[in-house]
């Protein structure tokens, strides 16, 4: 009997060829996009399982379709594991991904037109934190706070408090997609209490690092709602979770279903449960510490080589490099040069970037994926050196080819879990 993989090869060679091409790309180079990771083989198996066949509108014990014996079990397990990891009252594991997750959370607790505070996109916030190009940007009246260049990109809480006192937001959102510092959640909560606002932390990038107790947990500062995607530092399937205090359970659940979504993707819910189970193991805590140590090592290598990093370094898993100031090239040229040497990163706007998003001033780099492969500080130093060489001479094709050989030789010693070598 042919295996599922053999069947795909025989019956759809085009897709099979793309699949094997992507496997080779992922294994022969290294993913340094901070929001990406290499998931567990068990997650891949669960994602490709018969749970994808099932409709399960509703929640465990209250579904609108029959045949829920096993789907109820996995959703309960996912919720319980997440509750233990994040020390919270309730978790909804059905959001399909990050943007619908945040939309469902806002719509649960706010009315269209309400005033909300979120971090400006170019300073590190996410599209759903009020960027005008997102529907969320129009649905609510946003106060977009910024970081302070005079204090290495920290947030000036006096300025934030003043804006909150003047505009009286209903919710203060903190969280980031491209901010290389950790947050101090307490000042956000204090200001929110002063103006009567709800608090929501979108920890999508660092959800795994919080679960692994490497970074602070917003619930410890009394936050009302915490959202996270599951495929970044958590290493799970693509998806999202909304976690909240008990008093918001009903509003959050109704907002996800039937408010915004229909049938949950139960293969994804099952795979989320698997990843959360992995995050409960002691190895995951060690992994999270190594992610941070690797980020520090990579930042140090880049800084020592003369690169300029936004905020002067990193206190989490990522860094944003100003390529214009460092090398006189924009982020698109830098991303292409690193692609040429099998290091995948993404071009990135820097605070108040004078350049447009498709030709921004920087690139964003992160260590969760490389750390999953077992790379440590010495590999980060080597990769940092390769990057500096490539970015100093992005047009030197023979030089880039030689660097690619070196990157691929390094990667060959660190197989990707779940990809046959
Ligand atoms: N696209 C994600 C990231 O790369 O950070 C955020 O949604």
Nearest residue CA, atom 3 of ligand 1? 35
- 177 ligand 1 Cβ < 6 A: yes
Concerning whether 232 is annotated as a catalytic residue, the answer is: yes
CA dist 303 and 320 (Å) reads: 12
Q: Give which of 218, 240, 206 is closest to 35, Cα–Cα.
A: 206
- 102 ligand 1 Cβ < 6 A: no
How remote is the CA of residue 101 from the centroid of ligand 1, in Å?
Answer: 13
What is the model's pLDDT at position 185? 98
What is the model's pLDDT at position 268? 98
- For a pocket test of ligand 1, which of 177, 360, 369 has the largest count of ligand atoms closer than 8 A to its C-beta? 177
What is the model's pLDDT at position 234? 98
Nearest residue CA, atom 1 of ligand 1? 35
- 128 ligand 1 Cβ < 6 A: no
How remote is the CA of residue 49 from the centroid of ligand 1, in Å?
Answer: 26
Nearest residue CA, atom 7 of ligand 1? 98
- 199 ligand 1 Cβ < 6 A: no
CA dist 196 and 182 (Å) reads: 25
How remote is the CA of residue 35 from the centroid of ligand 1, in Å?
Answer: 6
- Of 232, 278, 347, 364, the active-site residue reads 232
Within 10 Å of residue 123's Cβ, how many Cβ atoms?
A: 23
Share the mean pLDDT of the chain. Answer: 97
- What contacts 235, CB < 8 A, 6 or more positions away? 37, 38, 39, 40, 43, 208, 275, 278, 279, 368, 372
pLDDT tens string 328-346: 999 999 999 999 999 999 9
CA dist 88 and 118 (Å) reads: 23
For residue 388, pLDDT over 80 is answered with: yes
What is the model's pLDDT at position 421? 65
Mean pLDDT of 4-22: 98
Nearest residue CA, atom 6 of ligand 1? 177
pLDDT tens string 108-162: 999 999 999 999 999 999 999 999 999 999 999 999 999 998 999 999 999 999 9
How remote is the CA of residue 123 from the centroid of ligand 1, in Å?
Answer: 14
Band (420; pLDDT cuts 50, 70, 90):
confident
Concerning whether 57 is annotated as a catalytic residue, the answer is: yes
- For a pocket test of ligand 1, which of 35, 119, 127, 345 has the largest count of ligand atoms closer than 8 A to its C-beta? 35
Concerning whether 371 is annotated as a catalytic residue, the answer is: no
pLDDT tens string 157-215: 999 999 999 999 999 999 999 999 998 999 999 999 999 999 999 999 999 999 999 99
For residue 381, pLDDT over 80 is answered with: yes
- What contacts 49, CB < 8 A, 6 or more positions away? 267, 270
Mean pLDDT of 212-226: 98
How remote is the CA of residue 177 from the centroid of ligand 1, in Å?
Answer: 6
How remote is the CA of residue 138 from the centroid of ligand 1, in Å?
Answer: 20
How remote is the CA of residue 278 from the centroid of ligand 1, in Å?
Answer: 23
Concerning whether 229 is annotated as a catalytic residue, the answer is: yes
Between 22 and 150, the higher pLDDT residue: 22
pLDDT tens string 302-329: 999 999 999 999 999 999 999 999 999 9
- Of 202, 224, 353, 379, the active-site residue reads 202
- 35 ligand 1 Cβ < 6 A: yes
Nearest residue CA, atom 5 of ligand 1? 177
How remote is the CA of residue 3 from the centroid of ligand 1, in Å?
Answer: 34
What is the model's pLDDT at position 19? 98
- What contacts 171, CB < 8 A, 6 or more positions away? 106, 109, 110, 114, 116, 117, 192, 197, 198, 199, 200
Closest atom of ligand 1 to 33 CA is: 4
CB 219 within 8 A of CB 88: yes
């Amino acid at each position: 009997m042919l295996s599922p993989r053999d069947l795909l090869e025989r019956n759809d060679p085009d897709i099979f060829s793309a699949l094997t091409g992507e496997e080779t790309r992922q294994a022969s180079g290294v993913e340094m996009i901070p929001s990406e990771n290499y998931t567990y083989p068990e997650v891949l198996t669960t994602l490709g399982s018969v749970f994808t066949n099932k409709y399960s509108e509703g929640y465990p014990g209250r579904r609108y379709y029959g045949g829920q014996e096993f789907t109820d079990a996995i959703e309960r397990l996912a919720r319980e594991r997440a509750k233990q990891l994040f020390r919270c009252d309730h978790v909804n594991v059905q959001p399909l991904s990050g943007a619908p997750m945040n939309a469902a959370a806002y719509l649960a607790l706010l009315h269209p037109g309400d005033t909300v505070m979120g971090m400006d996109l170019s300073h590190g916030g996410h599209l759903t934190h009020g960027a005008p190009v997102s529907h969320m940007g129009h649905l609510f009246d946003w106060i977009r706070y910024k970081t302070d260049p005079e204090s290495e990109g920290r947030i000036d809480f006096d300025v934030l408090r003043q804006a909150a006192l003047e505009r009286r937001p209903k919710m203060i959102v903190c969280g980031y997609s491209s901010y290389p510092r950790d947050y101090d959640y307490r000042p956000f909560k204090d200001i929110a209490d002063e103006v009567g606002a709800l608090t929501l932390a979108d920890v999508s990038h660092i959800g795994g690092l919080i679960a692994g107790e490497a970074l602070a947990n917003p619930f410890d500062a009394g936050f009302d709602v915490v959202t996270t995607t599951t495929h970044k530092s958590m290493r799970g399937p693509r998806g999202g979770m909304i976690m909240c205090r008990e008093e918001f359970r009903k509003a959050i659940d109704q907002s996800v279903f039937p408010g915004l979504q229909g049938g949950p993707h139960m293969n994804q819910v099952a795979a989320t449960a698997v990843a959360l189970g992995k995050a409960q193991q002691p190895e995951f805590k060690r992994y999270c510490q190594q992610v941070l140590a690797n980020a520090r090592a990579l930042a140090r290598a880049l800084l020592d080589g003369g690169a300029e990093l936004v905020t002067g370094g990193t206190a989490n898993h990522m860094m944003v490099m100003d390529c214009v100031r460092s090398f006189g090239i924009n982020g698109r040229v830098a991303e292409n040069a690193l692609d040429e040497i099998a290091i995948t990163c993404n071009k990135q706007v820097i605070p108040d970037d004078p350049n447009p998003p498709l030709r921004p001033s920087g690139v964003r780099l992160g260590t969760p994926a490389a750390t999953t492969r077992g790379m440590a500080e010495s590999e980060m130093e080597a990769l940092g050196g390769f990057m500096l060489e490539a970015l100093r001479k992005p047009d030197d094709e023979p030089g880039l080819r030689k660097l690619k050989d070196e990157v691929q030789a390094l990667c060959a010693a660190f197989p990707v879990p779940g990809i046959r070598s």
